[in-house]
Amino acid sequence: MDQLDTGRGTAPVVRGAGVARLKQALATSAGGIVIRFQDGAPQLVVGRRRRERDGVTWTLPKGTPDGRETTEQTALREVAEETGLEVRIVRRFDSIEYTFSQGGTRIHKTVHYFLMQPTGGDLGRHDHEFDEVRWIRFDEASSMLTFETERALVARAARAATDGSFPGPALATGGGEA
């Protein structure tokens, strides 16, 4: 689950000329793009959440560090919890940044992603943060993922999955079946 880093980057509400400015905060999360090959074609894991403000969203697994976790530890734990899969990091990937407002605070968030492979587990064992978790083809992501930042990230990951820098079907281990 994503949370705020209110210890850094916060500013008090500033008022002037009858206009209130939002407090500001920084938030950091980490997650993964879990890739497997099915019949030679790459697939990734996505999850569906129901949220009051957004309705239903389809998104990549990610979350906030616990204590002094490294970015890698956070990504591995969050992906395992949210998808039910056991995974390994293949390599560090890109980060995305976006801004949103919550509870009177404008939050600038950075999410660090890793390319990952499933090594075991079962999508049916995902936690409560996703209502549903499923494998999809990369060409489905552009119409399924809710947020543009994630759609662009997954488009870059699709190239990485097929350019020879990611272990292909012959090297992949585990299936992480649904």
Convert the pLDDT of each residue in 136-170 to its tens digit. 999 999 999 999 999 999 999 999 998 877 776 54
Number of C-beta neighbours around residue 136 at 10 A = 16
- d(CA 20, CA 12) in angstroms, rounded, equals 11
Each residue's pLDDT tens digit, 40-50? 899 999 999 98
Q: Would 102 be classed as within a structural domain?
A: yes
pLDDT at 18: 55
Binned at pLDDT 50, 70 and 90, residue 56 comes out as very high
Whole-angstrom Cα distance, residue 102 to residue 47? 22
Does residue 22 form part of some domain?
A: yes
Residue 7 lies in a domain: no
Q: The domain that contains 158 carries what CATH number? A: 3.90.79.10
Give the total number of structural domains in the chain. 1
